[in-house]
Structure 1
Amino acid sequence: MGRLAILGALHEEIADLLAAMDPGAVVHRIAMRDFHVGTLWGTPCVIALSRIGKVAAAATASIVIQQFKVSRVIFTGLAGGLHADVAVGDVVVASALMQHDMDARPLFGQYEIPLLARAQFDTDAALSARLRESAEEFLESHAPALGGRAALRPRPRVHCGLIATGDVFVNDNDEAQKLRLRLPEALCLEMEGGATAQVCHEFGIPFAVLRVISDRADHAAKVDFTDFLVNVARVYTAGILAPLLRPGVLPDA
């Protein structure tokens, strides 16, 4: 099995993964980023902090693909819930991603990526299915304990569907409602996944995106996001990925 890349936009989202890497991991400094190369729960990995936004995520994804020859990419972190069925504490595994702030009309259709003739990028079905299974098992066994640390509803759920990416942190009720009307199928909003998806598509690299809902993209988003980032994000990420990275669990790339 080839090397897996795990990317996150904020340190707290990957902190427990870095701490769990086997001794001997090597850090490579490239383009103002640290790439941690080693073994995580039996799987060869490179873990990196992408930083926030589409350009930062695209640059990081390009580096792990070209410099570290990864065979697949997982992007993980928090997101703002958009769909009515998605609540704080839920997990969203992307089936596809799109960039809600891409608009090159009239040269191209709204949301269409110029010269690629597509607005959405599908994730790798097998990798996403394993992520979903692991997330469901994690919530089943750990959600009651997490409920005391964050305002989670009694039974958080796992969703699979469209994730919308844009270079804006949505924390306004009116703006969130506009996006719901424009993108009725979108489950959540974030700032990196769609760019990572485009890069992986262009390089032919299988990828998956895992997001934990920290807020509802409304006026309380800043407070909810910060609390969730500090207290819950790292627990979700490590808890969901640990069983997945045991030898023989991930499907072959």
Structure 2
Amino acid sequence: MPKTQPTALILTALPLEYTAVRAHVEDREEHVHSGGLRVEKGQLPNTPWQIALSELGVGAERAASLTTQLINWLHPQAVFFVGVAGGLKDDLEIGDVVVGTQVYEIHGGKQTPEGLLVRPRALPSSLALEQAARSAVRDMPDVRAHFLPIATGDIVLADSESEIADFIRRNYNDAGAIEMEGSGAAQAAHLNGQLDALVIRGISDHADAGKSKADAAGSQQLAAKQAAAVTMAVLTKHRPREGSADSEERPQERGEGGGTTYGGDHIDFRGGTFYGPVTGKTDRQQQR
């Protein structure tokens, strides 16, 4: 059976984020799953990686569901969620990049008469991808990168004095950025065999009243461009796992004389008809 390229699945929520990543991918070709999901597959130059790029839309629950479907379809070795975010730290500037060391889902808790008792949920990022990112950004003088937790919530934060902003400061004080999809993608990757996953976000605003003005000035395009550049640099550093190239499930093919052939190990009825179960082993199983 021919060896296929290892796949890195890169996910975005917004069209401008998709465009920023797409600019790095060559020889693109669109693929459509029977369920309707679409990806563009292409090559990341000077690497062994095949990129599968998909725009999922907004929201963590949506990201979790669609990421799970994409993982089951494409069998990637690494999953990235890439795009823009609001900065939560004073030393973060527009265009800086936050590489998520872990991802917080900020809405977990129990409401009691004494107030909300927070039940934090956090997923750590892949150590291998984080280490590749730390190595990669050393060679990127035009990028200011920060390795910090990222908070995910179903909210666009545009008021730094709001109740939710105070909630984040009190309960997720080390978070460097807030966005809306990272925890969903990270959870999907974690539940699929602890697949390597990393959230990379460019800072497009300061999560305050100046968000609209910053967006109008092109901050989102700059932030998305920087996040995409860091993601590609990570994949330049990160090596695929040996002996575990991806293999998509291949559709059955028609054989000679009306028989049915399945991949390399095959059943070939040569025009005959068989009624009943077939049990067998591949060569690899027989050699164990």
Gapped regions of structure 1 (runs ≥ 5): 113-118, 144-156
Alpha-carbon distance in structure 2 between the residues aligned to 1:185 and 1:56: 26
Q: How many residues matched?
A: 228
2:118 aligns with 110
2:160 aligns with 173
Q: Over residues 147-171 of structure 1, what are the superposed CA-to-partner deviations in whole Å (9 max), with x where a residue is unaligned?
A: xxxxxxxxxx321121110000011
- What secondary structure sits across from 2:133 in the alignment? helix
1:74 aligns with 2:80: yes
Alpha-carbon distance in structure 2 between the residues aligned to 1:17 and 1:239: 8
Query: Residues 20 and 7 from structure 1, CA distance in 2 versus in 1: closer, same or farther, beyond 3 angstroms?
Result: same
1:55 aligns with 61
Quick check: 1:83–1:184 contact (8 Å CA) kept in 2? no
Alpha-carbon distance in structure 1 between the residues aligned to 2:34 and 2:158: 33
Report the alpha carbon displacement of residue 29 of structure 1 after superposing the two structures with TM.
5.0
CA RMSD of aligned residues (A): 2.4
1:179 partner letter: I
1:154 aligns with none
Query: Residues 55 and 225 from structure 1, CA distance in 2 versus in 1: closer, same or farther, beyond 3 angstroms?
Result: farther
Gapped regions of structure 2 (runs ≥ 5): 242-288
Alpha-carbon distance in structure 2 between the residues aligned to 1:57 and 1:110: 23
From 123, 126, 146, the equivalent of 2:125 is: 123
Report the alpha carbon displacement of residue 32 of structure 1 after superposing the two structures with TM.
5.3
Q: Which moved more, 1:35-44 or 1:162-171?
A: 35-44
Pick 1 or 2: higher relative contact order, CA cutoff 8 A, min separation 6: 1
Quick check: 2:67–2:188 contact (8 Å CA) kept in 1? yes
Alpha-carbon distance in structure 1 between the residues aligned to 2:128 and 2:204: 26
Structure richer in helix, relative to its length: 1
Alpha-carbon distance in structure 1 between the residues aligned to 2:36 and 2:213: 29
2:223 aligns with 233
Percent sequence identity over aligned pairs: 25
Alpha-carbon distance in structure 2 between the residues aligned to 1:183 and 1:209: 17
TM-score (norm 1): 0.80
Report the alpha carbon displacement of residue 103 of structure 1 after superposing the two structures with TM.
2.3
Report the alpha carbon displacement of residue 84 of structure 1 after superposing the two structures with TM.
3.1
Alpha-carbon distance in structure 2 between the residues aligned to 1:206 and 1:77: 18
TM-score (norm 2): 0.71
2:50 aligns with 44
Q: Over residues 55-83 of structure 1, what are the superposed CA-to-partner deviations in whole Å (9 max), with x where a residue is unaligned?
A: 22112211221011111101111111113
Q: Over residues 142-194 of structure 1, what are the superposed CA-to-partner deviations in whole Å (9 max), with x where a residue is unaligned?
A: 35xxxxxxxxxxxxx32112111000001112222442123211111110111
Q: Over residues 203-243 of structure 1, what are the superposed CA-to-partner deviations in whole Å (9 max), with x where a residue is unaligned?
A: 1211011111111111111332452123x134213422334
Quick check: 1:91–1:135 contact (8 Å CA) kept in 2? no
Quick check: 1:131–1:210 contact (8 Å CA) kept in 2? no
